[in-house]
Copies of this chain bind each other. A is one copy, B any other.
Amino acid sequence: MKVCMAQIEVTSCRPNLNFERMSKAIASAKSEHADTIVFPELCLSGYLIGDTWEEQSFLSDLLYYGEQICTLAKDIIIVFGNIAVDKAKTNNDGRPRKYNALYCAQNGKFMLFPGGKPYYIKTLLPNYREFEEPRHFCDSERMVAEEKGFSVNYKHLYFIPRNINGVSAGLCTCEDAWSSQNYPTDPVSEYVNNDAELIINISASPYTLGKNRLRNKVFGLEQAKKHNVPLIYVNQTGLQNNGKTLFTFDGSSTAYNKNGEIVAQAPMFKEHLLYIEYKNGDILPGELALLPSSDIEEIEQSLLYGIDKYLRACGTNKVVVGLSGGIDSAVTAALYAKIVGPENLLLVNMPSKYNSATTKNIAEKIAKNIGCYYTSIGIEESVELTTKQIQRAPIFKGAEYLSKQSLNLTPFHLENVQARDRSSRILAALSSAWGGVFTCNGNKSELSVAYCTMLGDLSGYLAAIGDLWKEQVYELGRHINKTYPVLPEEVFTVVPSAELSSEQNVDEGKGDPLVYWYHDRLFQSWMQWWFRCTPEENLEWYSNGTINQKLSISAGQDVYKLFSTKEVFCNDLEHWYKLFKGMGVAKRVQAPPVLALSRRSYGFDFRETLNGCYFTRRYYELKLGKQ
């Protein structure tokens, strides 16, 4: 049996467009004499479409296009994911019942699954991070429990279409094959117990760093090898979003043989029709795409792919980047140069009296190296005007003019005035005139603890590197330079600084209050670990001597040298935790969308409430020296 694994791009909420892609793939597969073509999960609708599932007219179109796909199932079996709607029933929210369904079409008809339904219903609905399927979909177990004369017996849930060219294939959707991870039921085992000879998994699996390694373990070892059954995983490509968070879909469709070994693999971030041969009970070795050789290369590919797709979705390829001479804007500029080309990129340096010749020169060098457009627009005149206007504003109380009343801007306020002047006044107007968008260059470290100015450096159409910690930004810069050497060495060596006051003079080695080798990892323990920690655990580690180890602090660095006493450790810890839980949340609520790369990114993935900062009882006990 020859199977076409159709790794297509899926565009959210564009069933017409996705239908065309599917039709084209089906035609190709037919011309290659494939017996079966397998498409990804929810490949007509897209996966991340928010509450668009509530629009009945949209659902109708999805069902229409599903029927159209069915008519193409001649001389080929078509497996694909789509919505199913049961209007006779409701979900708990009172809206029509919806299932995340898998369809299998043959001879112009949908095969019937047990219970007489022309689709298989997804059983395990993920409900963590950006996933919230139970909000819209009913799972198969509830459906079975409801059906009269249909006992609660998991065997009835799973369908093995023995007539797929004589092969008994177990068809399942995405999470259904992740059952070895904490789920109470296990569709794959059920299939195998019912003599499935092949598992076909259709997915809509967003990219995060390290997920493919985990999937190879789960699908390869914990499913295929353990059950002695080959497994096919078909995923989509493209960029989808939850408004606040953008997710790339990397494809990486993979075929595992009975030993759990990868025998065929489609490329990352690229549409591809991967053909495999199933013979004598196993999948034969086939095409293996070249994969990124390191995590940082994978991150770069995801960034380039995601940013490019998002710019296209926004309908522009003209970009303005504010270039300070620091690492974040430098790396951002290099990424955009690779995506839109120097012709469409305008870099702008916006000095105040606090900006050093050092950083201005770095900025100029980068622009020259890239060969893109470049300009410099100062903010001093405007900052002075603002200061004057605020401080000399005529104040009335009711009808009375208060001649002696005046308002004052402190040095701290003036730091923010500068940052806002750059973004909201210059960058916003400049990008209008340039005919495009301007970028937010903030990284995850800053975003964690509000080390940025709202309406200032926090603004922009997209925070492309907003899911990279500062240490990763440096690493990415070094990596880009290997093949695209546009970043001068100084950008890696100059002290990271906002240069918003004389207290942040880079030539005197003054800069950010963050010690990135420590704080990056501290913040990770608060938001990125699956089992999230708080200052209670951090202080516990500091107290019992394990903090370097717990935070995986790099060799050569030592938290105990940074904070020689518990008191200074706690002062620093509380300072940043308050910002993380306070102003950090307030700023993130209004921050640009973030392109997700990690296993936990800010926005819709990491759900926050603005409740200020709470320290536990145990934290105070530890702080006061109790054991």
Report if A14 contacts B (CB, 8 A).
Answer: yes
Report if A596 contacts B (CB, 8 A).
Answer: no
Report if A515 contacts B (CB, 8 A).
Answer: no
**8 Å CB interface, A178-228 against B:** 181-184
Report if A49 contacts B (CB, 8 A).
Answer: yes
Cα distance A617–B184 in the bound complex, in angstroms: 41
Looking at the complex, which of A53-61, A103-111, A321-329, A563-571 is the stretch in contact with chain B?
Answer: A53-61
**Chain B residues within an 8 Å CB radius of A48:** 609
**Chain B residues within an 8 Å CB radius of A530:** 94-95
B13 & A430 in contact (Cβ 8 Å cutoff): no
Interface mask (A409-434 → B, CB under 8 Å = 1, otherwise 0): 11001001100110111101110111
Which of B242, B420, B459 is the one whose CB lies under 8 Å from A609?
B242
A181 & B94 in contact (Cβ 8 Å cutoff): yes
Report if A352 contacts B (CB, 8 A).
Answer: no
Cα distance A58–B534 in the bound complex, in angstroms: 8
Report if A382 contacts B (CB, 8 A).
Answer: yes
CB distance from A131 to the nearest CB of B (A): 9
Q: How many residues of A contact B (CB 8 A)?
A: 125
**Chain B residues within an 8 Å CB radius of A382:** 382, 385-386, 389, 425
Cα distance A23–B40 in the bound complex, in angstroms: 55
A243 & B94 in contact (Cβ 8 Å cutoff): no
A428 & B416 in contact (Cβ 8 Å cutoff): yes
Report if A122 contacts B (CB, 8 A).
Answer: no
CB distance from A418 to the nearest CB of B (A): 11
Report if A173 contacts B (CB, 8 A).
Answer: no
Report if A51 contacts B (CB, 8 A).
Answer: yes
Cα distance A158–B126 in the bound complex, in angstroms: 28
Cα distance A58–B391 in the bound complex, in angstroms: 45
Report if A502 contacts B (CB, 8 A).
Answer: no
**Highest count of chain B CB atoms <10 Å: which of A58, A243, A397, A619:** A243
**8 Å CB interface, A392-411 against B:** 393-399, 407-410
**Chain B residues within an 8 Å CB radius of A393:** 348, 375-377, 430
A616 & B50 in contact (Cβ 8 Å cutoff): no
**8 Å CB interface, A500-557 against B:** 530-534, 536-537
**Chain B residues within an 8 Å CB radius of A74:** none
**Chain B residues within an 8 Å CB radius of A454:** 428, 459
B429 & A409 in contact (Cβ 8 Å cutoff): yes
CB distance from A392 to the nearest CB of B (A): 9
**8 Å CB interface, A340-379 against B:** 342, 348, 367-368, 370-378
A588 & B375 in contact (Cβ 8 Å cutoff): no
**8 Å CB interface, A423-457 against B:** 423-426, 428-430, 432-434, 454-455
CB distance from A211 to the nearest CB of B (A): 15
CB distance from A80 to the nearest CB of B (A): 19
**Chain B residues within an 8 Å CB radius of A432:** 409-410, 413, 416-417
**Highest count of chain B CB atoms <10 Å: which of A64, A91, A373:** A373
* With known contacts A371-B397, A425-B421, A428-B420, A390–B433 Cβ distance under 8 A: yes
Cα distance A376–B396 in the bound complex, in angstroms: 9
**8 Å CB interface, A598-614 against B:** 604, 606-612, 614
Cα distance A578–B518 in the bound complex, in angstroms: 46
Cα distance A135–B604 in the bound complex, in angstroms: 13
User: Could you write out 17 A-B pairs with CB less than 8 Å apart?
Assistant: A54-B531, A56-B531, A91-B182, A92-B182, A241-B610, A242-B609, A367-B398, A368-B398, A375-B393, A376-B393, A377-B390, A377-B393, A407-B433, A416-B428, A417-B428, A590-B592, A604-B607
A residues engaging B (CB < 8 A)? 11-16, 46, 48-52, 54-58, 60-61, 64, 90-95, 124, 126-128, 132, 134-135, 142, 146, 152, 181-184, 240-244, 313-314, 342, 348, 367-368, 370-378, 381-382, 385-386, 389-391, 393-399, 407-410, 413, 416-417, 420-421, 423-426, 428-430, 432-434, 454-455, 459, 461, 530-534, 536-537, 585-586, 588-593, 604, 606-612, 614, 616-619
User: What would 5 more interface pairs be, CB under 8 Å, given A93-B182, A313-B612?
Assistant: A54-B531, A146-B184, A244-B589, A374-B397, A409-B429
Task: Please provide the 10 A-B residue pairs with the shortest distance between their CB atoms, ordered closest to farther.
Answer: A424-B424, A407-B433, A13-B611, A50-B607, A371-B398, A413-B432, A93-B128, A57-B536, A50-B609, A424-B455
